[in-house]
Amino acid sequence: MFETPDIYTLAGGTSEGLSKLGAFDNAILNAGVGNTNLIRLSSILPPKASFREKIIYPRGVLVPIAYGYITSDVKGETIAASVAIAVSVEDGFGVIMEYSGVTSARNAEETVRKMAEDAMKHRNIEIKEIKSVSSEHIVANIGCAFAAVPMWYSKLS
């Protein structure tokens, strides 16, 4: 059984690769989570989790993470990925939203912030703050844009 993570950060990265999987792998390396095993979450920030500017992960660990990404092999195409976290006033509970597409980082971030705000509205939860990050990449051959909310455990950092 998994413990509930109590710290989180924002991460983003972009890269090229020899394949779409290679571009994704290089982008997660660029984002600082590439030497871990990512366990994709369904986008809820646990109550009382605290933000850290950066988390250093031991190689090979299982990292709970919510993320969005896009890969493309269309030369010259602009791709972007973004995540946003709406954090509650009451206890720090939050909702994480992900968005990616053939778009700019600015548009992706604006879109995902609205999505996070809307998710909290439907839960009738007052928002304390919204944090977000985005990444943008112009494809040379095969590229990837990646944005994420990796989580971890304060007792292990």
Place of tokens 């993570």: 5
- Provide the annotated active-site residues: 37, 42-43, 98
Whole-number Å distance between alpha carbons of 47 and 20:
35
Whole-number Å distance between alpha carbons of 47 and 92:
5
Contact 82, 69 (CB under 8 A): no
Q: What tokens appear for 72 in the block? A: 């493309």
For strands 44-45 and 62-72, give the pairing.
unpaired
Q: Which helix (H) or strand (E) holds 117?
A: helix 105-122
Place of tokens 């998710």: 119
